[in-house]
């Protein structure tokens, strides 16, 4: 049974576009009775990052999991979650695009329910 704060299952966009050399973070905060769902993550770096990565921190069946995708070049990143990522009820999901270093700007977006 899926229970979330969005009973119509409408997609809710989230975005974070910080200053250069700052991690871009989207947090779906833990809330009572809510199971977060992530359908798509997209964004990227405007220049080549020194140590770029995308990390998704999620709790599944009581186990905290951090999935890390190294990103070694500038340009768009598109991650279609099929099937969608679903955390446990009452837990947060955090999506982090690491700071790109120097003057590199990173931006992250997510479609959630």
d(CA 33, CA 3): 7
pLDDT at 9 (0 to 100): 65
**Does residue 60 carry a pLDDT above 90?**
yes
CA dist list (Å): 39 to 9, 28, 84, 102, 106: 11, 13, 5, 31, 20
- The CA-based angle 106-107-111, given to 5 degrees, is 150
Helix (H) or strand (E) holding 82: strand 75-86
Task: Please determine, for residue 2, whether its predicted confidence score (pLDDT) is greater than 60.
Answer: no
pLDDT, mean of residues 83-89: 95
Answer whether residue 10 shows pLDDT above 90: no
Domains of the chain and any CATH numbers: 12-112 (2.60.120)
């Amino acid at each position: 049974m899926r229970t979330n704060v969005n009973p119509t299952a409408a997609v809710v966009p989230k975005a974070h576009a910080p200053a250069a050399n700052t991690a871009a973070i989207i947090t779906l905060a833990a809330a009572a009775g809510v199971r977060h769902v992530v359908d798509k993550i997209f964004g990227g770096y405007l220049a080549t990052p020194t140590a770029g990565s995308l990390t998704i921190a999620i709790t599944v069946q009581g186990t905290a999991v951090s999935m890390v995708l190294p990103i070694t070049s500038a340009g768009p990143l598109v991650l279609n979650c099929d099937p969608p990522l679903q955390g446990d009820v009452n837990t947060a999901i955090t999506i982090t695009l690491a700071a790109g270093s120097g003057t590199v700007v990173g931006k992250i977006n997510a479609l959630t329910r």
